[in-house]
Chains A and B, each alone.
Chain A
C-alpha cells in the first residue's frame, strides 16, 4: 500500500566532537536527558506525527544503536505494514561500499523507499534534540505543492555562519542557500529536516551519484542543486527548542537545560511523549543522608549523597558524603563515598572510587585534542574505574574501559588525558 510519507533517519554519524562519549557508539546512540538516547527524540517525533514507516541509516559503530532500536517496540514501530527498518551498508554483486555521504546513503537505499511506495520522504538527522510535529510540515509542503520543504530555525546572527543559511521571499519560498557562509545573508538556519517529493529526490540522488566531484551530502550538494535548478523549495519555520548536541559543551548545556524550574524543553508533555526502551528498574530511592536539588533522577538510582544541578541516569548509586555538582552521571555508574564530582560527564557502568575529586582547579588547554576538549568539562568514558583518592582537574579526558593500572599518578591535572587506543587496548 502506498504511503503518503515515510521517514529516513541519518544515524551513521560518528559525532567526533563528543570525544570518548561517542568513541564506542554512534552519536545518535549517546545517552541524553536522564534516560534517553539522542535518536529517541527523532523516533518519537515520527510516531507522534503519525509516520509509521522509518528507515534508520547506520554506519559508524551501529551495535548499540541496533540493540536500542530492535524491532521498534518502544515506539510502537513494530508493524506488519511499515515499522522501523535498519538500513546498514551492504555488498552488491560486484563490490560493496560504505555510505560516502548522507545523500549517498539514501541513494543506496532507493529500493527501500520504492518498496514502501512513498509519495514523500522526510530526511531526518538522528542526532538532534527537539520535539517537532512533521505532519504540520507535510501540510505546509502539500499546500505549497513544493518539490522540497526545509525546516528552518532562527539563529543568532553571530552563530549563523555555523549553519546552512536560507534566503527566502516573504511567503517563505527559498531562492538562495549557503552552507556555512562566512557572511550570512539571513538568520534562517537549516535544521537538517528535509521533506521531498520522492520522484524529485530520486532524480536528484541519481544525478548527484553520477557527479564525481560531489561529496554526496544533503547540505553541500543536494540542497544547492535544488536551488540551482530553481525548483519549488520552501522554508518551514520552526520555533521550538532544537539543539545539535554535537560538542561536549553543547551536550552538557542541553542536559543542564532540563534541570531548570521550567525547562524550555518540556519532557513532561503527556501528548508528546518521548519513548525509549524500559530499563526495568524500581523507582529510585533517596536515603536519610541524601539531598537532591535542581536535578533530574531516573529509576533504580540510590542516592545517599548530595546531588545538585545534575542529571542522573537509571541505576546510578551515589554513596554517602559524595557530592555531585553540575554533572551528568550515566546509567549504572557508582560514585563512592566522599567523592566530589564537579562539572564532569561520567559514562555508563563506570565506578568512581572514594574520595575522588574531579573538576579541580583552573581550565587548561587539552593536551589530547583541543578541538574536542575545549571547555572546563571533564569527561570520563564508560566501563572505567577511577581509583580511590584520585584528583582530576578540569577539561580532562579519560577513556572508556580504563582500569586502575592505567593510572600512573593519583593526580591528573587540568588539560591532561588517559587514552587507551580501541576498546581491546590495541
Chain B
C-alpha cells in the first residue's frame, strides 16, 4: 500500500473514560500491560505498508507526543515521509483549536496537499484491533467507491454501547443506504469502526467544501450529508475490535486479553503491535509469588498473589498483597498485605500496606495517576 497515506484521529475530550483521560488523550490510554491505545492503529498502518502518517491531536497530547517521539519504534523515523504530529496552532488562517475531526484535518490540509499518495486511510487512535487495510482498499477499488467505511457486526456490544456508535445500513452490493450517528434506538448492530478509505484528492475537496460552509465534523457534516451524492460502501471486518471509550469497554477489553484467542488475534495474526520500548529487565517472581490467569509485563517484581489481572511494566506487588480482577498500570506499587479487587490503578499509584480497595465488575474503582492510597 505504498500509494496510501494515513491519518489517525486521536479524539477530543472524553468524559466517559473518567480519571484515565483527565490527563491524557484517549488515544494515549495505557492498555494490555505495555501498550497505549494508539499503538494498534499505528502498527496496523505500518503493517499494511503505509509509511506517511499524520496525527492531528489537541486534547492533552503531551503523553501522546512523548510516546510517539520520532516514530522510531514503528520504523517511521524516515527521511521521506514517516510520522507527522499536528498539534493545533494559531495563525492568520487557522482558528487555533480544532473544532471537530474535519476541522483537525482541514487545519493541516497542507500535509494532504504536499503528499502524493493516491489514497488516504483515516482511522481512530482509541480502538484496539489488528487489521491489515489491503483487503479493504482492494474492495474500495473494485467497487469504484468514493468512500469505504470499515464496519462490523457489534454482537458483542450492549444496547447502551451501540448508542455511541454509527449504525450502518447497506444494500446487497455493500453500498451504504443509511448512516445513523449515535442513534437513541439503534436499528441493528452493524456499525462503523471509524475507519475510512478515500482518494486523497477527494478528501481535500470535501474538507475544503465543509470548511467553506463552516462545518467541522467528518461524520456528521461530510459522510452523512453526502450519503446520497457519493458512493459510500461498507467493508465488513470480522475480527476483534474494541474502542476504549468508556470505563466498561476499557476494563472489558483488558480482561479479554486473558483469553488466548483474543491475544492471538490482537498480537500475532495480522502482524506485530509495536510500542515504545522501556528497556526493563524480565519480570521477577520471588518465592511467595502466586500468579494465576494474568498478564505480567517486563520490569515487574511479584511477591504476592495476582489473579485475573493485567500488570503493566515496572509494577511491584509486595508480599501478602492480593490483586484480583484488576488493571495495574506502569510503576505502581501494591504494598504488603494490601488487597485489590476490580480496581484500575493508573500509573505510579502507591497502595500502602494493608489497604483494601474493592470496585464492582461493572464499575471498577479507579485510582488516578500518582495517587498514594
User: Which residues on A are within 8 Å of B, measured CB to CB?
Assistant: 33-35, 73-74, 258-259, 261, 267-268, 273-276, 278, 280-288, 290-299, 302, 311-313
Listed in ascending order, the chain B residues whose CB lies under 8 Å from chain A are 32-34, 72-73, 258, 260, 263, 266-267, 272-274, 277, 279-299, 301, 310-313
Which chain B positions have C-beta within 8 A of A287? 292-293
* Cα A282 to Cα B254 with chains together (Å): 13
| Shortest Cβ distance from A259 into B: residue | B284
- The answer for the CA separation of A297 and B280 in the assembled complex, in Å, is 12
Contact check, B285 vs A295: say whether CB atoms are below 8 A apart.
yes
Residue on A with the closest CB to B272? Answer: A280
Q: What residues on A are CB-neighbors of B297 within 8 Å?
A: 283-284, 299
Check A291 against B290 for contact (C-beta < 8 Å).
yes
Check A285–B286 contact: CB distance below 8 A.
no
If A34-B281, A268-B299, A283-B34 are given as contacts, then 8 extra A-B residue pairs at C-beta distance below 8 Å, sorted by A number, are A33-B282, A280-B272, A281-B272, A282-B32, A282-B263, A283-B310, A286-B291, A286-B293
17 CB contacts below 8 A, A to B, read: A74-B279, A258-B284, A275-B279, A278-B73, A280-B272, A282-B266, A283-B34, A285-B260, A285-B295, A286-B292, A292-B291, A296-B281, A296-B284, A297-B283, A298-B282, A299-B298, A312-B282
* CB <8 Å contact, B295 and A283: yes
How many residue pairs link A and B with beta carbons under 8 A? The number is: 107
A residues in contact with B33, CB < 8 Å: 282-283
User: Which of the residues B73, B288, B291, B298 comes within 8 Å of A283, measured between beta carbons?
Assistant: B298
Residues of A within 8 A of B295 (CB): 282-285
- Chain A residue with Cβ nearest B35: A282
Contact yes or no, B281 A286, CB < 8 A: no
Q: Which of chain A's residues have a CB closer than 8 A to the CB of B282?
A: 33-35, 296-299, 311-313
Asked if B272 and A288 sit within 8 Å, CB to CB, the answer is no
B296, A297: Cβ atoms closer than 8 Å: yes
Contacts of B277 in A (CB 8 A): 74, 278
Find out whether the CB atom of A290 lies under 8 angstroms from the CB atom of B291: yes
Q: Name the one of A73, A296, A302 contacting B283, with C-beta atoms under 8 angstroms.
A: A296
The 6 A-B residue pairs whose C-beta atoms are closest, nearest first, are A283-B33, A267-B281, A34-B282, A283-B297, A298-B282, A296-B282
**Cβ distance A188 to chain B, nearest Cβ, rounded Å:** 31
B111 to chain A, nearest CB (A): 27
**B296 near A284: Cβ-Cβ < 8 Å:** yes
With CB as the reference atom, state the residue of chain A lying closest to B298: A299
Known: A282-B263, A297-B296. A292 touches B285 (CB 8 A): yes
**Closest residue of B by beta carbon distance from A275:** B279
| Set of chain B residues within 8 Å of A275, measured between Cβ atoms | 279
Q: Which residues of A contact B260 (CB under 8 A)?
A: 285, 302
Docked pose: A287 CA to B33 CA in angstroms = 16
Report whether A268 and B301 are in contact in the complex, using a CB–CB cutoff of 8 Å: yes
Greatest chain B CB density within 10 A among A285, A286, A313 is at A286
Return A129 CB to nearest CB of chain B, in Å. Answer: 13
Which of A74, A278, A282, A290 is the most central at the interface, judged by chain B CB atoms within 10 Å of its CB? A282
Are B285 and A283 closer than 8 Å at their CB atoms? no
Q: Which A residue's beta carbon lies closest to that of B266?
A: A282
CB distance from A397 to the nearest CB of B (A): 27
Closest approach, in angstroms, between the C-beta of A269 and any C-beta of chain B? 9
B292 cross-chain contacts in A, Cβ below 8 A? 286-288, 290
Please report the C-alpha to C-alpha distance between residue A268 and residue B34 in the assembled complex, in whole angstroms: 17
Contact B285 A296 (CB under 8 A): yes
Q: Are A298 and B298 in contact (CB under 8 A)?
A: yes
Give the complex CA separation of A280 and B320 in angstroms: 32
How far is it, in angstroms, between the C-alpha of A291 and the C-alpha of B273 when the chains are bound?
A: 27
Residues on B with C-beta less than 8 A from A281 are: 267, 272
The minimal Cβ–Cβ distance linking A339 to chain B, given in whole angstroms, is: 20
- Quick check: B296 and A293 within 8 Å, CB to CB? no
A297 to chain B, nearest CB (A): 5
Q: How far in angstroms is the closest Cβ of chain B from A193? A: 23
In the complex, the answer to whether A285 meets B263 with C-beta atoms within 8 Å is yes
Closest to B308 in A: A288
Chain A neighbourhood of B280, CB < 8 A = 268
B36 to chain A, nearest CB (A): 13
- Asked if A274 meets B298 with Cβ closer than 8 Å, knowing A282-B267, A283-B33, A287-B293, the reply is no
Closest to B267 in A: A282
Contact B263 A292 (CB under 8 A): no
Q: How far is the CB of B320 from chain A (nearest CB, A)?
A: 15
CA distance A259 to B310 in the complex (A): 22
| CB-nearest residue of chain B to A288 | B293
**Least distance between A118 CB and chain B CB atoms (Å):** 28
Contact call B281/A285, Cβ cutoff below 8 A: no
CA distance A274 to B279 in the complex (A): 7
Q: Nearest-CB distance from A75 to chain B (Å)?
A: 10
**Distance between B333 CB and nearest chain A CB, rounded to angstroms:** 13
Chain B, residue nearest A286 (CB):
B291
User: Closest CB-CB distance, A87 to chain B, in whole Å?
Assistant: 26
The CA of A287 and the CA of B293, in the complex, are separated in Å by 4
- Cβ contacts under 8 Å, B284 to chain A: 258-259, 268, 295-296
Determine the distance from Cα of A283 to Cα of B34 in the docked complex, in whole angstroms: 7
* Residue of B263, B286, B310 touching A293 (CB-CB under 8 A): B286
Whole-angstrom distance between the alpha carbons of A390 and B162 in the complex?
Answer: 55
A282 contact from B34, B283, B291, Cβ within 8 A? B34
Residues of B contacting A280 with CB < 8 Å?
Answer: 272-274
Measured between alpha carbons, how far is A292 from B290 in the docked complex, in Å? 7
A282 CA to B260 CA, complexed, in Å: 12
B310 proximity list for chain A (CB < 8 A): 283
Contacts of A261 in B (CB 8 A): 286-287
**Which of B281, B294, B312: most chain A Cβ within 10 A?**
B281
CB distance from A79 to the nearest CB of B (A): 14
Chain A positions within 8 Å of B281 at CB level: 33-35, 267-268, 274, 296
A294 touches B285 (CB 8 A): yes
A258: which B residues are within 8 A, CB to CB?
A: 284
